[in-house]
A and B are shown apart, each in its own frame.
Chain A
Amino acid sequence: MNPIRTIFLTEIAKGLWLTLRKMFSRPVTVQYPEERKPVAPGFRGRHALVRDPNTGRERCIGCLRCAKVCPSRCIYIETERDPETKRMVVKRYEVEALRCVFCGYCEEVCPVNAIVLTEFYEYVGYRREDLYFDKERLLANWDEFLTTQKRPYFNPYWKPRGVPEKMLPAPKRKAEGV
């Protein structure tokens, strides 16, 4: 080591000068509960079932694609045929959020953009049942998300950017934001 450097502690002084300079730069710390960082559009957070504004029901058609593709198998769906209209309706749609790995495969394979991972991430529960979302909870999640949402919402997986249109099912091609 250089003797002048050893005696005069130049490298230590340089380091201290750097930290002193940084004291006057803008702080990057976010005081979390009081202030929050903006969430990026398309953040994969709490699950929700999209409520169709025309019918007031869920958009889901019960094709089971999301249940099949889910790597952690946390989606459970039961469908039945409506005796009056002779159409398939979703009887049960349940997501066990504690098992979910938030990969976003479900929203990507959904042909009608019914299930989404919303940008809402602050949810806790005291019991496991609190995070076991049934159909009503999932629809309520969507309503809650929409009321807190300030900007127009468009999930990037509704119509993945850069994926050729012919690879997408028709409802996904003309997907619109909310």
Chain B
Amino acid sequence: MAPTLELYTRKIGHPEWEEPFVVNMGPQHPSTHGVLRLYLELDGETVVRCDPRIGYLHRGLEKLSENMTYTQAMVLTDRLDYISSAANNTGYCLAVEKLLGLEVPRRARLLRTIVCEMARISSHLLWLATHALDIGAMTVFLYCFRDREWLLDIYEKICGARLTVSYPRIGGVRLDFTPEIIDELYQFTEEFPTRITDYETLIDVNRIWLRRTKGIAVVPPEKALNMGLTGPSLRGSGVPYDVRKFRPYDAYDEVEFEVPVGKNGDTYDRYRVRMEEMRQANRIIRQCLDKLAQTEGEPVVAEGAPDLLMPEKKKAPRAVPHPKKGFMVKGEEVPVVPEGEVYVSIEAPKGELGYYIVSDGSGKPWRVRVRAPSFVHISAIPEMVKGHMVADIIAVIGTLDVVLGECDR
């Protein structure tokens, strides 16, 4: 029998009969930062259950890279977290370098550190812009994009691309900086702290901002660790875990910086941590630039770094420069990449980004697995939004700083 109108009206107000009110948030919702879909069960405006549905941006990057050589697969890592592609490239290159046992020259390490920190600043700026816009502060959005534009321009001068940079390569970086770039970066680091102060003037003590962020999505330290949060989301809860300090890679052991931590573990503390991180990133860039002057004229690619055109076979003759003629000749046969497996993680702007690579000795990776921070952070959303209002879901997604390109891969 078809349900009548009377039956429907009777259902309302009956707690046993009442079905949960289901709302599908996304995948086209502008505040889900990509194509995240949240299946929400609501009681009035309070969230009872939240179920993230992911996979709308799945491109199979891990599988794709099995059919590519190591150098070709690096281009794919640009598309993981497309806001901070330089950091992704660096993590991948570090993993392959560990397999190969390559020692990267100091200048290349410094250059990589600079582009990684630039990626951190530009990622945090985009996070602040969209997070503030979601919560209702439009001016900050415009200011942040203005400053991010400057960084993208510098990227364009460094390597010729603004977003998908592909700047590091296995064994170093692809190009050295020109003196103009170094001058412009000095100018940037000079000016950027005042810009951060500007954003803080706008929203740090703003009552609307405080009401929307203080006490929202509180994560105690133990819970944050159990949920697998990393990066600023974990440090907001007061756990001073930073890969740059615990397992320093590139030039992070040479530079001085602090790891800011929060106290309460709410959205406001995570905001404060990211703002402070931008200042520290600025400081790191400054120190690296000073150190760059000491390594003037040094090579930026390691001796014995693989050619971009890697052979796909298991064993191939190594190209060695001919002593007199100006070209490479074939040397002895060596394994292209030694057999083995390796896990390397770096502190990406979003959190701990890990690469697990299994090599069977050929020029193609047998398996590449990416430990993406956004994927883990999305799994924490249901816990964090439980009992909050629908409007606070926006704040939670914003505060975790997820990028779906990285989550779905």
Instruction: Judge whether B334 is part of the interface by a CB distance below 8 angstroms.
Output: no
Whether the Cβ atoms of A162 and B160 lie closer than 8 Å is no
- Kindly state the separation between the CA atoms of A105 and B205 in the bound complex, as whole angstroms: 48
Minimal beta-carbon separation of B383 from chain A (angstroms): 29
Check if B301 sits within 8 Å of A167, measured CB to CB.
yes
- As a 0/1 sequence over residues 204 to 216 of chain B, the CB contacts with chain A under 8 angstroms (1 = contact) are 0111001000000
Q: Does A53 contact B (CB under 8 A)?
A: no
Residue of A15, A162, A166 with highest tally of chain B CB at under 10 A:
A162
B259 near A: Cβ within 8 Å?
A: no
0/1 string, A78-97, CB within 8 A of B gives 1? 00000000000000000000
- Which residues does chain A contribute within 8 Å of B177, judged by CB atoms? 161
**Interface pick from B91-99, B241-249, B250-258, B321-329:** B321-329
A167 to B321, CA, bound (A): 7
| A163 and B301 in contact, given A71-B76, A109-B309, A169-B326 (Cβ under 8 angstroms) | yes
A28: interface (CB < 8 Å): yes
Contact (Cβ within 8 A) B300 A105: no
From B107, B143, B160, B207, A11 is in contact (CB under 8 Å) with B207
A166-B72 in contact (CB<8A): no
A11 near B301: Cβ-Cβ < 8 Å: no
- A61 contacts which chain B residues (CB < 8 A)? none
* Bound: A103/B146 CA distance, A: 26
Q: How many residues of A contact B (CB 8 A)?
A: 43
Q: Determine whether the beta carbon of A163 is less than 8 Å from that of B309.
A: no
- Chain A residues 120-178 with CB under 8 Å of chain B are 156-157, 160-164, 166-167, 169-170, 173
Interface assignment of A58: CB less than 8 Å from any CB of chain B:
no
- 9 A-B residue pairs with Cβ-Cβ distance under 8 Å, sorted by A, are A11-B205, A14-B201, A42-B157, A69-B308, A160-B174, A162-B173, A163-B299, A169-B328, A173-B326
| B interface residues with partner A (beta carbon < 8 Å) | 68, 71-73, 75-76, 78, 107, 139, 143, 146, 149, 153, 156-157, 159-161, 164, 166, 173-178, 198, 201-203, 205-207, 210, 298-301, 305, 307-309, 321, 325-328
The 7 closest A-B pairs by CB, nearest first: A162-B176, A170-B326, A162-B300, A161-B176, A71-B72, A40-B156, A44-B160
